[in-house]
Amino acid sequence: MQKPLISILTPFKNTETYLEDCINSILNQTYTHWELLIVDDGSTDNSYDVVNAFAEKDNRITLLKNSGSGIIDALQYAFSKSKGDFITRMDSDDIMLPNKLEVLLNNLITYGEKHVAVGLVEYFSKTGVGEGYKSYETWLNNLTKTGNNYSEIYKECVIPSPCWMIHRNDLIACDAFNPHRYPEDYDLTFRFYKHNYKCIPCDTVLHQWRDYSTRTSRTHVHYAQNHFTELKLRHFLDIDYNKTKTLTIWGAGTKGKLIASILLEKHIPFEWICDNPKKIGKAIYGKELKAFNTLSKIENPQSIITVANKTAQMEIRSYLETLNLKPMKDYIFFC
């Protein structure tokens, strides 16, 4: 019986230094029935030649040149050329653990369609991994171990972009990578969430995520925090916003102000609260900020919390519990 074909979608641009390690990690997979659709997104170094040398030796590797520009165009193009019943993505500067494809595929076969197979990730860097990335790794892996990834989806991207696998039909059903909306990995995660694709728990490290100063997620404007906030709000309004509740913003920092400005622009009514005595009673964008305890007087509130301080978040959560408010239903942390 023919084994299922896995299609691996991999854009690359000027990652000559890391491509050999990346492709060798794919060649060394315990599961061997795969195809690699690897797309040059306008490299100016020797990346194309590095990949071409591999493609000439292994017919499972298809080297393409992006017909458009950017990661999303490259992913769309790779997918259009793919034939696999199962789809995954790989970053050209990362490394797969040898059993990655096998574990993800077996989990998907076991659980069936409308599921997303995910695995634990591990950051690595020649210069050492910073505390922020280690914290994100721990947080993300803890969610993945239980499969409760969506429970904190509005904080950060809860599915690592290069460590998921899904049935082809499910990827098509959620219209992946359409339209052009960055950050594309976070947008795709929200599409999985909207379509109620369950995350399959996994307690195995399957992917090594390389960190370095010129990595795209660090340097490109598409991955700036303002794009994250706008994307989160867009999907919140589409998926979880309850028009029968009173929308309330908690916090008047940069994110709170950005959310308020978008809501005003969209003519969506909201209340605005904070615990900063210097801001309470004052107006921003013509909207008065009220004391946080005003929340207890707001009938049927649905809060977006933009306070980033971890200690403050714990205090806020405790306060909301005294009001018998429920996470994801009555309040959502955007930080």
pLDDT by residue (tens digit) across 147-191? 999 999 999 999 998 999 999 999 999 999 888 889 999 999 999
**Contact call for residues 82 and 35 (beta carbons, < 8 A):** yes
- Cα separation of 112 and 117, whole Å? 10
Q: Per the structure block, which two tokens stand in for 129? A: 């991994």
**Contact call for residues 264 and 209 (beta carbons, < 8 A):** no
Is residue 93 packed enough to be buried (19+ CB in 10 Å), middle (13-18) or exposed (0-12)?
buried
Quick one: pLDDT at residue 55?
98
1 pLDDT tier (thresholds 50, 70, 90): low
Q: Is 4 helix (H, G, I), strand (E, B) or coil?
A: coil
pLDDT(12) > 90: yes
pLDDT(215) > 90: no
In terms of CATH, what superfamily is 241-333? NAD(P)-binding Rossmann-like Domain (3.40.50.720)
Quick one: pLDDT at residue 2?
81
**Contact call for residues 104 and 206 (beta carbons, < 8 A):** yes
- Cα separation of 212 and 129, whole Å? 9
**Contact call for residues 117 and 165 (beta carbons, < 8 A):** yes
pLDDT by residue (tens digit) across 290-301? 999 999 999 999
Query: In terms of pLDDT, which residue wins out, 7 or 221?
Result: 7
The residue-averaged pLDDT of 102-131 equals 95
Quick one: pLDDT at residue 216?
54
Quick one: pLDDT at residue 28?
98
146 pLDDT tier (thresholds 50, 70, 90): very high
Q: What mean pLDDT is reported for the chain?
A: 94
- Cα separation of 131 and 128, whole Å? 9
**Contact call for residues 14 and 44 (beta carbons, < 8 A):** yes
How far is C-alpha 181 from the chain's CA centre?
12
Domain segments of the chain: what residues? 6-224, 241-333
Q: Across the strands, what pairs with 200?
A: 117
- Cα separation of 321 and 315, whole Å? 10
Give me the sheet containing 301-305, strands edge to edge: 290-291, 271-274, 246-250, 301-305, 331-333
Quick one: pLDDT at residue 313?
94
Q: In 3D, which of 206, 103, 88, 197 has the Cα closest to residue 150? A: 197
Q: In 3D, which of 125, 163, 162 has the Cα closest to residue 144? A: 163
Cα–Cα distances (Å) from 39 to 28, 161, 273, in that order, read 20, 16, 47
Q: Which helix (H) or strand (E) holds 239?
A: helix 225-239
| Interacting residues of 212 by C-beta distance below 8 A, sequence separation 6+ | 93, 125, 126, 127
The residue-averaged pLDDT of 66-93 equals 96
In terms of CATH, what superfamily is 6-224? Spore Coat Polysaccharide Biosynthesis Protein SpsA; Chain A (3.90.550.10)
Quick one: pLDDT at residue 222?
43
